[in-house]
């Protein structure tokens, strides 16, 4: 079974110190740890702590809280509890100040880490090295979080601009944790409403389709708008206005109906002139209407024109009927 | 052998030139968005190739051949000269208007029947009149083809009957059509919906529709020729002009040649207004 070494369990390691002048305290700390029969070699690093911070507080991770502490002379004892996700652990510590510029102490902790039980003993010591400027790690985290949120907001703005519904509503196999813009659904749908409102005439529709392709359909559906409510009136207008190119490109149902009524089974020359453009547009290069053989051929080949075939057939009949 | 600098430079230029030729050739041949529409096709917009398939494959050209016959006849001039239809021309089969041996018809009228009605009897009569014999006319056809740089074209008869060695390509036919359309007499005939001619004595009249179904049906269609034989299948060279642009479609063995040509012309004109290749 894997044994977890909770290396950062209880020690507060305030920001690794910047070697810069300031009002706060720069300490060199050394820590050694023993857990589950394993001993970690001593680690030394320079850290910066707020001016006047309690020594024992310096030893605690930010996931930990002090339950109580007692002071007796230059020694103090304390109890603490820590929590990080599902992991919890508690412990006790003892600290001895050596003058105003040094300390040493021990801590014992037990609990779970990564779901595994652990016990641990730590020896710590510290020596003041000078001054520094303390930076609150929580503030740093908050700044990073703010940066991340700003970045995500920008990403979400981009997805709104592109009408990409996935990160707002999921679907297409996206896991739930990919819904990073879930809280912007209202903004997304406002954009969708704005775009679809502009698609109520052919020019607006064509421009939007050129910009968004068919993504707008998914976006509209995600926001509860039936794409047919946008295309329906346009397709109706395309039929009455005989805008066959628009119809062929955007209205498959209407195009199929008109094709069946006016194109299928007719030759290029026999189709009504009014519908020739329609048939070419909706049939295009895949037009495969079943129809009689063309009557307007320009047969070059020897003796096999219509007249020749009739003559040939008549000859055969004559021979057969002997007239 | 050692090359001097001049020779080396010349060799490099030769290699670069050859590479460019290969690149240009493959660029011309590779854009084939419609592989199912015909055995071979070519679409040009304003003289520049847009899309093509097997455009250099030598295939039977059927009545598209008549463009060369018409070109030679028109270049022979004297449209008012009277031609007496001989036995061979009168015996032509396939598309015909019904000329008889001994009919006297003006050369310009035979040209109209050849181009508009795709009439083999008129075509044969023209060829016989221009060169004196079919064989001599075919030799002229092949010389003219060579002069035009139609390197994969060979004619064995003036009207397009299927025959071994009677072959052309979509690229060559496009070039032939471009040359033919420079001749006013031809350009003015191939855009007509129909035609009517008569013998010189006026006793027999012949009426015919343009076999190119796009004329009068496709907006802007101005030519040029259709053709069909068992071996060639349905063929057409279609030329249309619209909004200052000119689109040419050559289809060889295209089962739905009219619909296909119509749609390809539409797409070519749409391309003219589009910013990029689809």
CA–CA dist B153, A272 (Å, integer): 38
* pLDDT of A4 higher than 70: no
CA–CA dist B114, B180 (Å, integer): 14
CB-based contact, B161 to chain A, within 8 Å: yes
CA–CA dist A2, A35 (Å, integer): 13
Q: What is the pLDDT of residue B221?
A: 97
Q: What is the DSSP string of A119-183?
A: EEEEEEEEEEEEEE----HHHHHHHHHHHHHHHHHHHHHHHHHTT--HHHH--TT--GGG-TTGG
* pLDDT of B254 higher than 70: yes
Q: Is B63 one of the catalytic residues?
A: yes
A76 DSSP 8-state letter: E
Interface probe with A: pick from B253, B256, B274, B275, most Cβ of A within 10 Å: B256
Q: What is the pLDDT of residue A20?
A: 55
Is A296's CB within 8 Å of B93's CB? no
Look at A132-136, A311-315, B230-234 and tell me which has the smallest mean pLDDT: A311-315
How many other C-beta atoms are found inside a 10 Å radius of the C-beta of residue B269? 20
Interface probe with B: pick from A246, A266, A271, A300, most Cβ of B within 10 Å: A300
Most confident of A28-42, A71-85, A232-246, B191-205: B191-205
CB < 8 Å to A286, chain B:
36
- pLDDT tens by residue, A11-23: 444 444 444 567 8
Is B96's CB within 8 Å of A296's CB? no
SS3 for B52? Answer: strand
CATH numbers and ranges of domains, chain B: 30-273 (3.40.710.10)
Q: Is B191 one of the catalytic residues?
A: no
Is A296's CB within 8 Å of B209's CB? yes
- pLDDT tens by residue, B184-225: 999 999 999 999 999 999 999 999 999 999 999 999 999 999
Question: How far is the alpha carbon of B262 from chain A, nearest alpha carbon, in Å?
Answer: 7
Query: Stretch B89-93: mean pLDDT, rounded?
Result: 95
* pLDDT of A256 higher than 70: yes
CB-based contact, B230 to chain A, within 8 Å: yes
CB-based contact, B228 to chain A, within 8 Å: yes
Task: Tell me how long chain A is.
Answer: 323
A84 sits in the region (left: phi over 0; alpha: psi -120 to 50; else beta) called beta
Q: What is the pLDDT of residue A138?
A: 78
Residue of B nearest to A303 (CA): B93
Average pLDDT value over all residues in chain A = 79
Among B94, B226, B260, beta carbon nearest to A302? B94
Task: Report residue A290's pLDDT band, with 50, 70 and 90 as the boundaries.
Answer: very low
Among B217, B228, B259, beta carbon nearest to A299? B228
| Positive or negative torsion for Cα B32, B36, B40, B43 | negative
Among A273, A284, A299, beta carbon nearest to B263? A284
Identify whether the C-beta of residue B206 lies closer than 8 Å to the C-beta of residue B96. Answer: no
Q: Is B95 one of the catalytic residues?
A: no
Query: Stretch A172-201: mean pLDDT, rounded?
Result: 88
Most confident of A33-47, A108-122, A239-253, B190-204: B190-204
CA–CA dist B148, B180 (Å, integer): 11
* pLDDT of A214 higher than 50: yes
Query: Stretch B63-75: mean pLDDT, rounded?
Result: 97
* pLDDT of A307 higher than 70: no
Q: What is the pLDDT of residue A317?
A: 32
* pLDDT of A251 higher than 50: yes
Q: Among residues B95, B118, B226, B246, which one is catalytic?
A: B118
* pLDDT of B64 higher than 50: yes
CA–CA dist B96, B114 (Å, integer): 9
Look at B76-80, B104-108, B174-178 and tell me which has the smallest mean pLDDT: B76-80
CA–CA dist A230, A247 (Å, integer): 14
Q: What's the burial of A128, exposed, middle or buried (CB within 10 Å: 0-12/13-18/19+)?
A: middle
Task: Report residue B81's pLDDT band, with 50, 70 and 90 as the boundaries.
Answer: very high
Residue A312 makes CB contacts below 8 A (sequence gap 6+) with A303
* pLDDT of B128 higher than 50: yes
CB-based contact, B199 to chain A, within 8 Å: no
SS3 for B48? Answer: strand
Q: What is the pLDDT of residue B39?
A: 97
CA–CA dist B126, B128 (Å, integer): 5
Is B263's CB within 8 Å of A305's CB? no
By C-alpha distance, which of A52, A70, A55, A38 is closest to A125?
A55
* pLDDT of A289 higher than 60: no
Domain ranges of chain A: 24-135, 161-225, 228-287
């Amino acid at each position: 079974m894997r044994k977890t070494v909770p290396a950062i369990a209880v020690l507060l390691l305030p920001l690794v110190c910047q070697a810069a002048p300031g009002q706060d305290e720069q300490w060199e700390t050394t820590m050694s740890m023993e857990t589950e029969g394993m001993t970690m070699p001593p680690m030394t690093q320079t850290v910066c702590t707020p001016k006047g911070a309690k020594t024992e507080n310096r030893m605690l991770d930010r996931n930990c809280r002090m339950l109580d502490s007692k002071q007796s002379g230059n020694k103090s004892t304390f109890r603490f509890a820590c929590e990080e996700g599902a992991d919890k652990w508690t412990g006790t510590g003892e600290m001895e100040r050596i003058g105003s510029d040094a300390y040493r102490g021990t801590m014992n902790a037990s609990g779970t880490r990564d779901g595994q039980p652990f016990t641990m003993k730590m020896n710590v010591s510290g020596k003041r090295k000078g001054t520094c400027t303390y930076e609150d790690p929580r503030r740093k985290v908050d700044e990073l979080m703010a940066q991340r949120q700003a970045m995500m907001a920008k990403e979400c703005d981009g997805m709104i601009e592109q009408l990409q519904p996935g990160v707002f509503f999921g679907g297409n196999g996206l896991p739930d944790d990919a819904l990073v813009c879930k809280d912007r659904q209202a903004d997304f749908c406002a954009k969708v409403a704005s775009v679809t409102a502009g698609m109520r005439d052919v020019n607006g529709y064509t421009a939007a389709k050129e910009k968004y392709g068919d993504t707008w359909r998914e976006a509209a559906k995600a926001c509860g708008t039936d794409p047919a409510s946008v295309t329906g009136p346009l397709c109706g207008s395309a039929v009455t206005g005989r805008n066959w190119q628009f119809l062929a490109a955007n209205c498959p149902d209407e195009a199929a109906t008109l094709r069946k009524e006016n194109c299928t089974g007719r030759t290029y020359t026999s189709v009504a002139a009014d519908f020739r453009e329609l048939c070419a547009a909706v049939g295009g290069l895949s037009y495969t209407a079943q129809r009689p053989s063309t009557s307007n051929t320009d047969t070059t080949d020897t003796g096999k024109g219509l007249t020749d075939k009739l003559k040939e057939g008549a000859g055969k009949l004559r021979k057969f009927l002997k007239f | 052998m050692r090359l001097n600098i001049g020779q080396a430079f010349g060799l490099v230029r030769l290699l670069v030139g050859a590479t460019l030729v290969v690149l240009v050739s493959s660029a011309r041949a590779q854009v084939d968005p419609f592989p199912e529409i015909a055995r071979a096709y070519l679409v040009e917009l304003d003289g520049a190739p847009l899309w093509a398939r097997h455009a250099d494959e030598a295939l039977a050209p059927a009545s598209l051949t008549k463009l060369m016959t018409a070109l030679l006849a028109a270049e022979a001039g004297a449209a008012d000269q009277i031609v007496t239809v001989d036995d061979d021309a009168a015996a032509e089969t396939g598309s015909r208007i019904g000329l008889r041996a001994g009919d006297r018809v003006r050369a310009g009228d035979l040209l109209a029947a050849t181009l508009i009605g795709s009439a083999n009897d008129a075509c044969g009569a023209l060829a016989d009149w221009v060169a004196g014999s079919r064989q001599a006319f075919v030799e002229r056809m092949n010389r003219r083809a060579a002069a035009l740089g139609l390197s994969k074209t060979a004619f064995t008869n003036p009207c397009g009957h299927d025959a071994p060695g009677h072959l052309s390509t979509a690229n060559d036919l496009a070039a032939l059509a471009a040359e033919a359309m420079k001749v006013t007499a031809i350009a003015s005939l191939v855009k007509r919906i129909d035609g009517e001619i008569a013998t010189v004595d006026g006793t027999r009249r012949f009426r015919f529709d343009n076999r190119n179904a796009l004329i009068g049906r496709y907006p802007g269609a101005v030519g040029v020729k259709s053709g069909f034989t068992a071996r060639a299948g349905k063929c057409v060279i279609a030329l249309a002009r619209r909004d200052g642009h000119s689109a040419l479609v050559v289809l060889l063995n295209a089962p739905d040649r009219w619909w296909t040509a119509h749609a390809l012309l539409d797409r070519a004109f749409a391309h003219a207004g589009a910013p990029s290749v689809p």
